[in-house]
Amino acid sequence: MERLSKMVSEKPVVIFSKSSCCMSHTVRSLFSDFGVNPTVYELDEIPRGREIEQALSRLGCSPTVPAVFIGGEFVGGANEIMSLHLKRSLKPMLKSAGALWV
């Protein structure tokens, strides 16, 4: 858990993903369209990815990917991100975290 906390606190937007997950790709594409450059950890490609996935599960991430952190705080998965976007709440969160300047 400590390692996970360190990883999410180092950058404004962190996404835990798997290379084969279409919903992770969708979330990454949305952020890219905004001009946000999130830090992405592909859990199926990094050392100790399984361990990080278990920590995400203990945090309440279900499913475990995509798991999006903004400003060091867990925001949610694809459903939560899309809901925030539709409510026009996502961009203000990104601005507040320093990930979006416009």
CATH number of the structural domain spanning residue 29: 3.40.30.10
- What tens digit of pLDDT does each residue of 1-12 get? 688 899 999 999
51 inside domain: yes
Domain span at 45: 1-97
Whether the CB-CB separation of 15 and 68 falls below 8 Å is answered with yes
CA distance 70 to 11: 8
Indicate if the pLDDT at residue 81 is higher than 90.
yes
Higher pLDDT, 88 or 4: 88
- In degrees rounded to 5, what are phi and psi of residue 16? -95, 130
How far is 44 from 63, CA to CA, in rounded Å?
15
Name the domain count of the chain: 1
Q: What is the pLDDT of residues 31-78, one digit of tens each?
A: 999 999 999 999 999 999 999 999 999 988 888 899 999 999 999 999
pTM for this predicted structure? 0.93
Q: Residue 64: its pLDDT value, please?
A: 87
- Bridge partners (DSSP) listed for residue 73: 70
Q: What average pLDDT score do residues 74-88 get?
A: 96
